[in-house]
Structure 1
Amino acid sequence: MLRDSRVHAVRVLYVLSVKPRQEISAWRPPVAGVVEVFHAHFIEHAYPMHVHDAWTLLIVDDGAVRYDLDRHERGTPGDTVSLLPPQVPHNGSPATAHGFRKRVLYLDMTQLDESFIGPAVDGPDLADPVLRRRVGQLHTALANRGDEFEAESRLAFISERLRERLRPGPAPGGTEPARGIAHDLRDLLDGRLLEGVALAEAARLLHAHPTHLVRAFSSAFGIAPHQYVMSRRVDLARRLLLDGRPPGAVATAAGFYDQSHLSRHFRRVVGIAPGRYARSR
């Protein structure tokens, strides 16, 4: 069966004892459309506000998670499926005393394009038993080497159902409104993610006062510009670690000052050190 040559066929799977009764496993399957599979059992770890480049498709098998998305408190009641859109800041923390056990798929934009971001922000938690069952079946297929064709088939049905649930309405007529200074700053930060940009330089390039930039960005996206940059660099570091690159090289490649700089922010966002994240390699 022909496969997209851009998809890495290397799988990294490991289970780490971070704290008693806490486990993490992550791998990149050779299935087009799936950026990463992430399973975790957290008792105390709380994610700070952060963003991903990919869609976050989340199911919770035990306990519950509460999180903030677009300034609204959300959660994972019952048998819901949560879909968090790319580039939209969110956090996460246990909603029960014994923490939570979750399974996450990070999906690229081939599965859902940008037109679905707005509907996902408005309603990220989907009470859909059929969808949840299909997501669980996909996780099982992704955990078994040789079942890639099954995984691709199940992913196709999941993406179709997500589109049906989130189907955006037709775009209103007329010209698109101005994106504003916050979006201009985000474009600049995205374009200079690795080398970075000083706030004074950003202010000069965008013809705005530095404090106005920070206030506008934080108000528009619910996350400070520096937090946005660091969380995006951590997201990149995760992918590089799953490609098998050592943490020291990853730190430089992802735009961090050094390995300790990477470790500090990686641990804060993901909950473990990057070396442990890639331990089995």
Structure 2
Amino acid sequence: MNTPNTLSVLSCPQCGGELHPDEGQIFIICPYCGATVFVDKSRTVFHWVLTPTLNGEQAEAALKRWMSGSETVKDLDQKSQIVNRSFRYFPLWYFRWKSDGQERVALEPAAATSVTELAHLSLLAGDLRPYAPSLEGDSEPPSVPLEAGLDWFRQSHAGAKVEEMALVHVPIFEFKYLYRGETYTAVVDAATGSVLANVYPAKAELPYRLVGGVAAVVFLCLASFPVIGGLADHDGGAIAGFLLCSGLGLIAAPILMAWAGWVAARV
């Protein structure tokens, strides 16, 4: 008979042993096999953690490399100012299933976050370790029920049969940085160094599209010269048009390349 402070008897997902979590207890270790378990209402799932490989300085260096890359505005690494850096283990629901004979994994956030790209992390089963209770001080507890995570999974993977469910805590560094008076958030995966961000100062596409559009129009016009010449003069019009096209093309190409380089240097 259960005491008032004990939940109904649950089973360990690894060995099937009886678990008797206290009321409010969500992280437990099976006394029979040592498996780390997360309790979600009336069910239990494995509880894993991804071990960090980067410290704060290395994570900041990864962020700076991303800022200086091709996705963000030019010199973002130099023109922005990091105003806050924090570390925590963020919870994700882990779903494993098979498709076309291959094992696949999907992740869904187990807590509220503005960086939904966290669900796109790549986790390998071999990288996961049993969660240690000593990490609780740095771990964000799950606030999204497992059933909600399952609903999200089913919406994007209709008909998939889940073979394993688990809670995984991944190590992340969250950065807040200022750029032109606006505050942005970026997350660095402390296990791989990958940078995740939903909103960031991206390169403006219009200047590049303008250069590309003008170049396309110029060379399309030049390419029409041999055709027009051939229609106007069957004997030598096509050759004259080709020579004119080639000559003007040699003049236009370096001008357009210089313009493209100027845009790339300033956008």
TM-score by structure 1 length?
Answer: 0.20
TM-score by structure 2 length?
Answer: 0.21
Higher strand content, 1 or 2: 2
